[in-house]
Structure 1
């Protein structure tokens, strides 16, 4: 196999699998790992792939999330509209999960006039917003504090969520892939998110346009298991049609 042909096929393999190791590629193409590394260097120089610890991913895969202070102001108008709309879905006597995130924080800010509402969250920012509302019972999961975002995560968080059952879970995500669904760049944050998703009768994802159609390293929840996506009007019609074809209801606000 000629070098250019092999590199083309390597790129196709990486795009399909989203993450592969040098050893995997060496076995797949029956060449030495040194040859694969040269091929990957060439592909990386062209901006087609990105090298990470343990292997390689497509260049369009999200590798890390922006700091909280940056995310809090990014697309703020869209997040406020999404948060206001999602808050209207929460009724008196509901029990809900608000996942840690800047869009779910906007939901918390619009939760006024509710009676006998229970909110479970792994986000100190959200708990702080809700603390003055005596009509809302706020339950904080516990766990290790992520100082840049005030998110709680870890074994204590996961254990707290295992025996909780709620009406609705409002989930944030750094990347919503049109094929694989919810994606995340950090494998250590996924267990808590899965526990939230498993605990809810209705799963609602809140995400602005910048997250839709994006990939991250780990896919952890399929589109078919999501009840509703609330996003903004910047998402194009073709993308909405693609999601609808998978049975996902989408509200644009």
Structure 2
């Protein structure tokens, strides 16, 4: 009886972990399938963020450690982020208190909430703070702390203590990566720690992540997938990813 893809996946990843590289001919011989089947398997595993294809085989996927500057991220995937922000804003009910994480998508979320006098926002993001001071009609609470100028946010023990004083309806989290294997991660340890605190303070933790973050692992762990209520991504997220997350009973939603 021939092996299923799931069986082949286990073997491929085990060899990759042990040897640091896999080659198509050797895998085909070992698994008793065609080279074309192995190439399709490697394509699928690459889309899942499990490895990186190279000529003749595959190598481990390098973990991403550095995030582009905030201004540069503002220009990336703008349509997808706009759709995510609009969907997220529609989740905010009358009279709710929400925590808004640091990230470019959060500015879009704020734009949709600008006239909501009934909503209270708690944030540690300097760009969100400045935008809300100009345009937000509701109540605003800023969780101050140690300023990280390059990231344009505040983090640290003081920030987390302030956040810990609240219990909110929803926290909207900005992340660096969403992986089936490694869960929710971010580039900066301080940011990841604040995001974790926001998750703990909320009845619902909602991750906003455009398609470029799905299948990616970054430096600092925030939470396991089962710890968040839902993940909202954009329409460019491949259907295969949606299916894989559904298999794990993870609510990955595509914003229309």
TM bucket (normalised to shorter chain) is 0.7 to 0.9
- For 1:9 and 1:204, the matched residues in 2 are separated by 33
Aligned length: 207
Q: Is the 8 A contact 1:91 1:114 kept in 2?
A: no
Q: Is the 8 A contact 2:192 2:221 kept in 1?
A: no
Deviation at 1:238, TM superposition (A): 1.2
- For 1:204 and 1:188, the matched residues in 2 are separated by 19
Instruction: Tell me which residue corresponds to 1:230.
Output: 232
Deviation at 1:67, TM superposition (A): 0.9
- Structure 1: give runs of 5+ residues left out of the alignment: 1-7, 16-45, 50-57
Deviations 1:94-151 (A, max 9, x none): 0000000011121011113323211000111111221245631111100122212321
- For 1:124 and 1:184, the matched residues in 2 are separated by 18
- For 2:191 and 2:18, the matched residues in 1 are separated by 27
- Structure 2: give runs of 5+ residues left out of the alignment: 1-12, 21-54
- How large is the Cα RMSD of the aligned pairs? 2.3
Deviations 1:211-247 (A, max 9, x none): 0000113333011111111110111111111111222
Which is worse superposed, 178-187 or 196-205?
178-187
- For 2:133 and 2:93, the matched residues in 1 are separated by 18
Q: Is the 8 A contact 1:62 1:175 kept in 2?
A: no
TM-score by length of 2: 0.74
Instruction: Tell me which residue corresponds to 1:190.
Output: 192
- For 1:179 and 1:158, the matched residues in 2 are separated by 27
- Report whether the alignment pairs 1:73 with 2:75: yes
Deviations 1:3-28 (A, max 9, x none): xxxxx98951598xxxxxxxxxxxxx
Deviations 1:39-74 (A, max 9, x none): xxxxxxx9x88xxxxxxxx54311111111111111
- Report whether the alignment pairs 1:12 with 2:17: yes
- Report whether the alignment pairs 1:212 with 2:203: no
Which is worse superposed, 110-119 or 130-139?
130-139
Deviation at 1:197, TM superposition (A): 0.5
